[in-house]
Amino acid sequence: MSEMAGKVALVTGASSGIGRATALAFAASGARVALAARREAELEQLASEIAARGGEATFVRTDVSVAADVRRMVAHAVEVFGRLDFAVNNAGIEGEFQGISEFSEEMWDRVLDINLKGTFLCLKYEAAAMLEAENGGAIVNVGSVNSFLGFGGGAAYVASKHGQIGLTTSVSAELAPQGIRVNIVCPGIIDTPMHQRLRQVIGDEIYDSIVGGGVHLGRKGRAEEIADTIVYLCSDRASYITGTTVTPDGGFTLTI
């Protein structure tokens, strides 16, 4: 029997990148998966792919910065599958990279609303569902190496990612007595659409020099490698891990 047979996982930002890979990894482990993102066509395609592989998936269009959407997302997962065991709060945007004196208030609000407020809203409604069921559970927030490393021009993104660590440690302390574990994964340079956009912003030469000179393993990570880390943190094999920051970055932060 698959490791997570009969369990239910909810993944936000599931339409691409790490979220998509995580949904597939949960399905491969036997979990039924609720997919959430703003791009509904991509969610429908992923649900079909999971079904073609013998898994079960449902999807719901969700903007994690909107409380009503997040409440509906969690309710949908519970209504379709009858429970919620795991949640992965992966939805996020990088926003624009600009100097602080030029950075617009509108862009600041948009990045913080999705990355930080969105994580808060997801935790709020996911925790409520798990507490009501009294079955415990595991939640993984997806941060970044920029959850503890800043860079010029990235004030909003870096601030939102730093905030996710505070949310994780606080909510972990609150929910641990009820058997709900909360951790955060902070990936390094991963081959995802977000990093493809970053390459376009900073240029191939600078991007390749960062990967080649800054990552101990000398390569970008794969979304599937981060997905495996997330699924592990939700599994019984990680039953004594909570409130922890896990940094799958190929050694990048050891070079900074």
Catalogue the active-site residues: 157
Q: Which of 234, 225, 133, 134 is nearest to 187 (CA)?
A: 225
Categorise residue 247: left if φ over 0, alpha if ψ from -120 to 50, beta otherwise. Answer: beta
> By C-alpha distance, which of 88, 191, 187 is closest to 145?
187
Q: Are 41 and 48 in contact (CB under 8 A)?
A: no
Token output for 148: 């503890």
Secondary structure of residue 142 in the 3-state scheme: strand
Please choose, from the candidates 51, 63, 53, 55, the residue with its C-alpha nearest in 3D space to the C-alpha of residue 15: 63
Question: Could you identify the residue written with the tokens 């010029």?
Answer: 152
The answer to whether residues 116 and 170 touch, using CB atoms and an 8 Å cutoff, is no
Q: H or E element: which one contains 111? A: helix 105-112
